[in-house]
Structure 1
């Protein structure tokens, strides 16, 4: 299996929104507690084989690693 990494950012929700209702950008900080790093592993050899007839299904659902840390949004205020 030929693995490839895809670094991504995950949002940790602290307050849920009403089901099916989008959260306005102005209310982002009221709903999102913090951020975490993710690694979305992709099996590129499987992805190449299946992509033409089906699209990236099995190659994209290979595995995901989640960071052990959640960074609260307040910790990032100084970097804004």
Structure 2
């Protein structure tokens, strides 16, 4: 029996928490803030994808996230991978 997919809220909280652990400022991390303005680089994207896969069981590769430009866009990709 497979465990149920996490909710969108759980995923968003996890992603934000992961980005904060990677050094981003929580106060600046809004849904539409530009990843460029926040200083998100390819290493952040790679680590985020690995964390989502490892901790939430959602298969997300860095390549899936490399074209995203904001938290909203990254979450949309992750939600799609989770079939939410």
Query: Is the structural similarity TM-score above 0.5?
Result: no
| Structure holding more strand per residue | 1
Bigger helix share: 2
Q: Output the TM-score relative to the length of structure 2.
A: 0.24
Structure of higher CA gyration radius:
1
